[in-house]
Amino acid sequence: MSDSLYTLIRSRIADPARPFIETGDGRNFSYGDAFALAGRFANALQAMGVQPGDRVAVQVDKSAEALILYLGVIAAGGVYLPLNVGYTLTELEYFIGDAEPRVVVCRPSAVAALAPVAGKLGVAHCVTLGDKGDGTLMDKAAAASPDFTAVPRAASDLAAILYTSGTTGRSKGAMLSHSNLASNALTLVDYWRFTKDDVLLHALPIFHTHGLFVASNIVLLTGAKMIFLNRFDADEVIRQLPRATAMMGVPTFYVRLLQHAGLTKELVKHIRLFVSGSAPLLADTHKEWEARTGHRILERYGMTETNMNTSNPYDAERIAGTVGFPLPGVSLRIADPETGKPLPQGEIGMIEVKGPNVFQGYWRMPEKTAAEFRADGFFITGDLGKIDDRGYVHIVGRGKDLIISGGYNVYPKEIETEIDALPGVVESAVIGVAHRDFGEGVTAVVVTSKGAALDEAGVLKALDGRLAKFKLPKRVFFVDDLPRNTMGKVQKNLLRDQYRDLYKA
Ligand code: MLC
Ligand code: AMP
In this predicted model, what pLDDT tens digit does every residue of 305-334 receive, in sequence order?
A: 999 999 999 999 999 999 999 999 999 999
Confidence of residue 172 (pLDDT cuts 50, 70, 90): very high
| pLDDT on residue 208 | 97
Q: What is the helix (H) or strand (E) element at residue 384, kind and residue range?
A: strand 379-387
On the 0-12 / 13-18 / 19+ scale of CB atoms within 10 A, 114 is buried
Instruction: Report CA(308)–ligand 2 centroid distance (Å).
Output: 10
Is the pLDDT assigned to residue 505 strictly greater than 80? Answer: no
Q: Are 401 and 440 in contact (CB under 8 A)?
A: no
Pure H helices in 164-278: 178-191, 209, 218-222, 234-240, 251-258
Instruction: Report CA(107)–ligand 1 centroid distance (Å).
Output: 19
What is the C-alpha separation between 435 and 451, in angstroms, rounded? 32
Instruction: Report CA(60)–ligand 1 centroid distance (Å).
Output: 16
Q: Which of 298, 310, 409 to mutate to test the pocket of ligand 2 (most atoms within 8 A of CB)?
A: 409
Ligand 2 atom 12: residue of nearest CA: 383
| pLDDT on residue 329 | 98
**Quick one: average pLDDT of 447-463?**
96
- Neighbouring residues of 337: CB distance < 8 A, sequence distance ≥ 6: 349, 350, 384, 399
Whole-model pTM? Answer: 0.97
Ligand closest in space to the Cα of 235: 1
Instruction: Report CA(156)–ligand 1 centroid distance (Å).
Output: 32
Tell me which amino acid residue 31 is. Y
503 lines ligand 1 (CB under 6 A): no
Confidence of residue 170 (pLDDT cuts 50, 70, 90): confident
Q: Are 136 and 44 in contact (CB under 8 A)?
A: no
Instruction: Report CA(347)–ligand 2 centroid distance (Å).
Output: 20
398 lines ligand 2 (CB under 6 A): yes
Which of 138-142, 178-182, 483-487 bottoms out in mean pLDDT, i.e. has the lowest? Answer: 483-487
- Neighbouring residues of 116: CB distance < 8 A, sequence distance ≥ 6: none
Buried b or exposed e, range 375-398, using 16+ CB within 10 angstroms: eeebbbbbbbbbbeeeebbbbeeb
Pick the atom of ligand 2 nearest to 300's CA.
19
pLDDT digits (tens, 9 = 90+) for 124-133: 999 999 999 9
Pure H helices in 330-411: 366-371
432 lines ligand 2 (CB under 6 A): no
What is the C-alpha separation between 138 and 127, in angstroms, rounded? 9
Which of 166-175, 295-304, 351-360, 443-452 bottoms out in mean pLDDT, i.e. has the lowest? Answer: 166-175
Ligand closest in space to the Cα of 380: 2
Q: Which of 252, 353, 359, 404 to mutate to test the pocket of ligand 1 (most atoms within 8 A of CB)?
A: 252
What is the C-alpha separation between 203 and 340, in angstroms, rounded? 38
**Quick one: average pLDDT of 284-297?**
98
What percent of the chain shows pLDDT beyond 90? 96
How much is the mean pLDDT over the chain? 97
408 lines ligand 1 (CB under 6 A): yes
210 lines ligand 1 (CB under 6 A): yes
Tell me which amino acid residue 229 is. L
Instruction: Report CA(17)–ligand 1 centroid distance (Å).
Output: 35
**CB atoms inside a 10 Å sphere around CB 86:** 16
Ligand 2 atom 9: residue of nearest CA: 303
Tell me which amino acid residue 155 is. A
Instruction: Report CA(278)–ligand 2 centroid distance (Å).
Output: 4
**CB atoms inside a 10 Å sphere around CB 429:** 23
Q: Which of 88, 188, 408 to mutate to test the pocket of ligand 1 (most atoms within 8 A of CB)?
A: 408
What is the C-alpha separation between 503 and 505, in angstroms, rounded? 6
Confidence of residue 400 (pLDDT cuts 50, 70, 90): confident
